[in-house]
Amino acid sequence: MNPTTNPRLTSWIPVPADSHFPIQNLPYGVFRRQTGGPAAVGVAIGDQVLDLSVLAARDLLPGGYFDRPSLNAFFAAGRAVQSGTRAVISRLLSADEARLRDDSALRGQALVAQRDVEMLLPCEIGDYTDFYASREHATNVGTMMRGADNALQPNWLHLPVGYHGRASSVVVSGTDLRRPCGQTKPADAPAPLFGPSKNVDFELELGAFIGTGNDLGTAIPADRTPDHLFGVVLLNDWSARDIQAWEYVPLGPFLAKNFGTSISPWVVPLEALEPFRVAGPKQDPEPLPYLKTKGPEGYDIQLEVSIQGAKMDRPHVVCRSNARYLYWSFAQQLAHHTVNGCNLRPGDLLGTGTISGPVPESFGSMLELAWRGTKPIAFPNGETRSFLQDGDRVTMTGWCQGDGYRVGLGEVTGVILPARSV
């Protein structure tokens, strides 16, 4: 067992059992203190942020990685540096370790309440790829578009389908987005129309950040994932379904997706998720050799989505799903992405695609939950939704449940604002 994930490990910082950030987690993020000063890298522990740049300045951690506004350098440092750093942080925060606990001056410099910081994008994202890795989601959407007998395209069970997204519009949780404008083609319209999308949707996803990359012309084997994937965030790939329906043939989504993708600010290392590995769905037909993995590659991450409209007094949960439903794993996504020699770089982001489960309440988008508008979602205040309205706040959260503790991903949230006039 990795000592940093030992369920009996406790911290001298009080952490409630339902906190997303116990000592077994130790996710990394980039923050700026509300009192001012430069951005730095920190680790979440309970309701606190541990400023790693302060510890590095005291030679308690390696220098050169944490006094900067991104995690890219740390992502690139490699697994040995990352695991060693995590081990030191875990030891400094452990209940029986006095070095930081009993140094009140250092503690005052290194710890800051999460409520007193602004969370920033965790890294500079050079490239963003979005996959389509949930069989349930692909089947649901295919059934709507082509009928149940032709729901999955012929290639879907043989490879992780994906497309390249837009990295510049990936934003951190708390960033509100404007309703996008574009072309749509209603069935009864003789020609396309231009204007704000009427069918804005969320997509419940996970995102994985590349740690060390690969050289152009080389491939990353599926069983080498831990050497190249650093960690995981929540991801909401906002979508404009009516724009998408008109534009996606023949090359796929464009304006329907690139107006915004939101991620949670805390990057949970794969090391913290190791105790929650599970087998994914049985793959039939058997994947080609380069996509085969040797052990369980799924993760038991419980996922929830809630919506709160402008006239609602509280959020309402509309979806409960789980990452274990993903048909194509992170390892397989990475192997397929690079098998042709494509080079990935530290900070590149891979999205899973919408994560839907086998029952209606586990569907990971409004397109599915309201079944293309035929089954509107009912809210406690009497309102209904087929797609998002202006003023709606969407919040996603996720966690792995341990024995008396949970390893969480925090949350990603944002509001859909009215479209700008063009």
Residue from 211, 27, 15 nearest 94 by CA: 15
Whether 322 and 280 have beta carbons less than 8 Å apart is answered as no
> How far apart are alpha carbons 68 and 329 in whole angstroms?
32
For 264, the token pair is 């949670």
Residue from 121, 234, 126, 208 nearest 172 by CA: 121
Q: Count the alpha carbons within 13 Å of 346 in the hemisphere toward its beta carbon.
A: 15
Q: Count the alpha carbons within 13 Å of 362 in the hemisphere toward its beta carbon.
A: 17
Q: In which element (H, E) is residue 384 found?
A: strand 384-385
> How far apart are alpha carbons 1 and 3 in whole angstroms?
6
Residue from 84, 76, 160, 407 nearest 274 by CA: 407
Ramachandran angles phi, psi of 373, nearest 5°: 90, 0
Helix (H/G/I), strand (E/B), else coil: 51: strand
**In which region does residue 174 sit, left (phi positive, over 0), alpha (psi from -120 to 50) or beta (all else)?**
left
User: Cα–Cα–Cα angle for 394, 398, 399, nearest 5°?
Assistant: 160
For 88, the token pair is 């030191």
> How far apart are alpha carbons 275 and 369 in whole angstroms?
31
> How far apart are alpha carbons 181 and 213 in whole angstroms?
36
Residue of 137, 228, 336, 337 marked catalytic = 137
> How far apart are alpha carbons 83 and 52 in whole angstroms?
15
336 is catalytic: no
> How far apart are alpha carbons 29 and 378 in whole angstroms?
36
Helix (H/G/I), strand (E/B), else coil: 115: helix
> Could you tell me where the DSSP H helices lie in 201-354?
241-247, 270-273, 330-338
> How far apart are alpha carbons 306 and 320 in whole angstroms?
9
Residues designated catalytic: 137
